[in-house]
Structure 1
Amino acid sequence: MNYKSSYNLFYIVTAFAVTMFFSCKNNFKEVQQIGIKQNEPIGVAENMNLKYTDSGRLKANLISPKMLDFSNREFSYNEFPDGVTLYIYDERNKRSTIVADYAISYNNTDLIDLRGNVLITTETKDSIFAEQLFYDQKRDWVFSNKPVRYVSPTSIVTGNAFDSNQDFSSYGVSEVTGVQYFDDDDSF
């Protein structure tokens, strides 16, 4: 009897050990996330002034009342829920201004997604109005695939897409839906 019960005990211990062995998993990522709520930022900055330089030259300056840092994500980003003002500087240090109600800056791609009442004013006093616009910091390019309105002192052009270089000297409105020209005597 004693011999038979020791075999039963051996089988029970073996079954238990095998079960425990196969139930273990590598959960290092989960352990790292302890204390961080799932959809919460890892940092919050208020009244921020972020400057982007390249080779010692100021290329962009982003100002916002609040930034949420989600750099703990696999595709890291910074969110600006209370809006932004983005100044873009060209090679001659001429400044264009972009204002938006909301923005997201993607760290891996250097792309800034600007949304809600987006307004660009250029050094030459041209204005671009859109609901969404992207600024590619690597390519110094501004673009949108949403309806836009381009206003210059001599015309208003509306269309369904827009792209331009950073100083707005080379721009295009695609899928034009309307054009209005002004004489010097006209006012708008």
Structure 2
Amino acid sequence: MVIAFVMTMFFSCGKGLNEVNKIGLSANEPIGEALDINLKYTDSGRLKANLISPKMLDYSNRDFSFSEFNEGIHLYIYDDDKNKSTVISDYAIVYDKTGLIDLQGNVILATYNKDTLFAEQLYYDQNKQWLSTNLPVTFRTGGDLINGKGFDSDIHFKEAEVLEINGIITLEE
């Protein structure tokens, strides 16, 4: 009878043991926090990207894990010729499973050749290397300043398209 009781208790606690291990860790809290980030990504000895942020919150403890940069980011991206492009936003969130980056608040993407995109929100699909938004944007390319609602482009702006254009201003050099 004692053995039956102990076995019943053992098997009934199996799922509860995982819950006990999580005590003290709220499902809504990050599992980690990093301050004053200066992350450099290199490939074959060449600097490819440099991410700078005052704070990162790590939510890898969730089923749909993500990293949150609630105090903004500055990201510098370097091409093979060491040309630097810059991405700035007030807030960013990186979803690990989908490779999607959601940039929000005063988003500026400036390429080394002076093409510049201004938006309130911009999505970057790391897998497809594609930028998009359906919110208002201003895109400066060459001597034109293009306003519209929405934007689609590859990361090099070779296939850049402002959607629902509501104004083009040609700037004097």
Shared fold by TM > 0.5? Answer: yes
Which residue of structure 1 lines up, in the alignment, with residue 143 of structure 2?
154
Q: Is 1:62 aligned with 2:51?
A: yes
2:22 matched to which residue of 1?
33
Question: Is the CA contact (8 Å cut-off) linking 1:81 and 1:101 kept in structure 2?
Answer: yes
Counterparts of 2:46 and 2:129, CA distance in 1:
13
Structure 1 letter corresponding to 2:96: N
Structure with higher strand content: 2
Residue ranges of structure 1 left out of the alignment (5+ in a row) = 1-19
Task: Please report the TM-score for the alignment, with normalisation by the length of structure 1.
Answer: 0.77
The alpha-carbon distance between structure 1 residues 170 and 57, as it changes in their structure 2 partners (threshold 3 A), is farther
Q: How does 1:147-186 map to 2 (within 5 A)?
A: 147-184=136-173
1:45 aligned partner: 34
Q: Deviations over 1:99-141 (max 9, x none)?
A: 0001101111222111001011111112211000112222222
Q: Deviations over 1:13-44 (max 9, x none)?
A: xxxxxxx8xx8772344223112123111111
Aligned to 2:60: 71
Aligned positions of 1:16-165 closer than 5 A: 26-53=15-42, 58-165=47-154
Q: Which amino acid aligns with 1:118?
A: V
Q: What TM-score does the superposition give when structure 2 sets the normalisation length? A: 0.83
Greater shift, 52-61 or 121-130, is seen at 52-61
Shift of residue 95, structure 1, vs aligned partner: 1.9
* Structure number, greater radius of gyration: 1
The two structures, once aligned, show a CA RMSD in angstroms of: 2.6
Q: Tell me the matched-pair count.
A: 168
2-structure distance, mates of 1:57, 1:93: 9
Percent of residue pairs bearing the same amino acid type: 52
